[in-house]
Amino acid sequence: MKSLLFLVLISVCWAEPHPGNSSLEHERIVHIQENGPRLLVVAEQAKIFSHRGGNVTLPCKFYHEHTSTAGSGTHKIRVKWTKLTYDYLKEVDVFVAMGHHRKSYGSYQGRVSLRESSENDASLVITNIRLEDYGRYKCEVIEGLEDDTAVVTLNLEGVVFPYSPRLGRYNLNFHEAQRACTEQDSVMASFDQLYDAWRSGLDWCNAGWLSDGSVQYPITKPREPCGGRNTVPGVRNYGFWDKEKSRYDVFCFTSNFNGRFYYLIHPTKLTYEEAVQACLKDGSQIAKVGQIFAAWKLLGYDRCDAGWLADGSVRYPISRPRKRCSPSEAAVRFVGFPDKKHKLYGVYCFRAYN
């Protein structure tokens, strides 16, 4: 019993050569140390909400169990922030700090720092938030042989929208879908973003790529062409498909913007090229699909005039349903991809603020 009690009390033991007899290669002095306070890392909030262009602090503090001290003083504290991916074996480096040394990585360079409001504060400050910053972040604190972690999710205010190109339905592989969203001032939506959009009423019968490589679609009103009339509402999952060969639509996500979205008042209707030039002449650019969705969802933009957008589509945003203007629901109405050279419409422009 005494031997068992002795083993339980041992926390750390290490060995070194005996200074008095270096010829005895296998002789060692064993050091015994009792259990000390365990390092704990805590995130005060599991989810943080922000928006594109904003600044945010991801909370993280560290303590020693049963004490109020931040560190033991024996070892330097190393703080490492990474972004978690859908592949749990991979993490994206964001920021590392140890003593006076600081290093940020990739797209985070120049935008991240530690708050350090106290000696145990490892909270990460991110400035000028981008759409791709959305996701789960891990705060890891290391002191000697001890380490602990906490995870914080950064959510962005925004809108999910389905997208298909001029070629029509189911024409994008995964990589083309990524580019399509980027070209329309957005990123591929995550499952969580699509799920939140479904809970808010998004109903779409075409399956689309998500950022984790899965193909899914949201149904709030079950019907025969969309999985069957007798099925329950939900986000339908096609599973994971070949990213090179499989072709579907895509769900994109965008957030608010730093600029002005507007319908250009012009004396005549315009072809596509005339629309592009009219926006340029007005000191703007022809608006993108992500911008019309953001203006509609986040700013309540409402206009019953169909207008050209950058991808060659014609759409109009309705926030207040009424006769002749989407009488049944608030939505960004899709007219189609008309002939660019001969069809005439208005145009939506976007002017970025510096």
Q: pLDDT tens digit string along 24-62?
A: 334 433 333 445 568 999 999 999 999 999 999 999 999
| Mean pLDDT of the residues in the chain | 89
Tell me what pLDDT residue 288 has: 98
Q: What is the per-residue pLDDT across 54-94, written as a single tens digit (0 to 9) for each?
A: 999 999 999 987 555 555 555 789 999 999 998 767 899 99
Average pLDDT for 103-113: 97
Lowest average pLDDT, out of 18-22, 53-57, 250-254, 336-340, goes to 18-22
Tell me what pLDDT residue 74 has: 57
Tell me what pLDDT residue 87 has: 77
Residue 275, token pair as written in the block: 């629309």
**Is the CB of residue 218 less than 8 Å from the CB of residue 194?**
yes
Residue 342 pLDDT > 90: yes
Residue 252, token pair as written in the block: 């994109």
Beta-carbon neighbour count of residue 213 at 10 Å?
Answer: 16
How far apart (Å, rounded) are the C-alpha atoms in residues 61 and 71?
Answer: 11
Residue 258, token pair as written in the block: 């730093």
Residue 103, token pair as written in the block: 């290093």
Residue 253 pLDDT > 60: yes
Tell me what pLDDT residue 35 has: 52
**Is the CB of residue 340 less than 8 Å from the CB of residue 278?**
no
How far apart (Å, rounded) are the C-alpha atoms in residues 261 and 302?
Answer: 11
Tell me what pLDDT residue 13 has: 38
User: Predicted confidence band at 3 (pLDDT cuts at 50, 70, 90)?
Assistant: very low
Q: What is the per-residue pLDDT across 302-319, written as a single tens digit (0 to 9) for each?
A: 999 999 999 999 999 999
Please spell the DSSP secondary structure of 8-41, one letter per residue. HHEEEEEEEE-TT-TT-TT-EEEEEEE--PPEEE
The residue type of 33 is: Q
Please spell the DSSP secondary structure of 119-181, one letter per residue. TTB-PEEE-S--GGG-EEEEEEEEETTEEEEEEEEEEE--EEEEE--TT-SS-B-HHHHHHHH
Q: What is the per-residue pLDDT across 193-213, written as a single tens digit (0 to 9) for each?
A: 999 999 999 999 999 999 999
Average pLDDT for 280-290: 98
Average pLDDT for 321-337: 93
How far apart (Å, rounded) are the C-alpha atoms in residues 184 and 252?
Answer: 9
Tell me what pLDDT residue 110 has: 95
User: Predicted confidence band at 230 (pLDDT cuts at 50, 70, 90)?
Assistant: confident
61: closest CA among 33, 48, 42? 42
Q: Select the more confidently predicted residue: 30 or 179.
A: 179
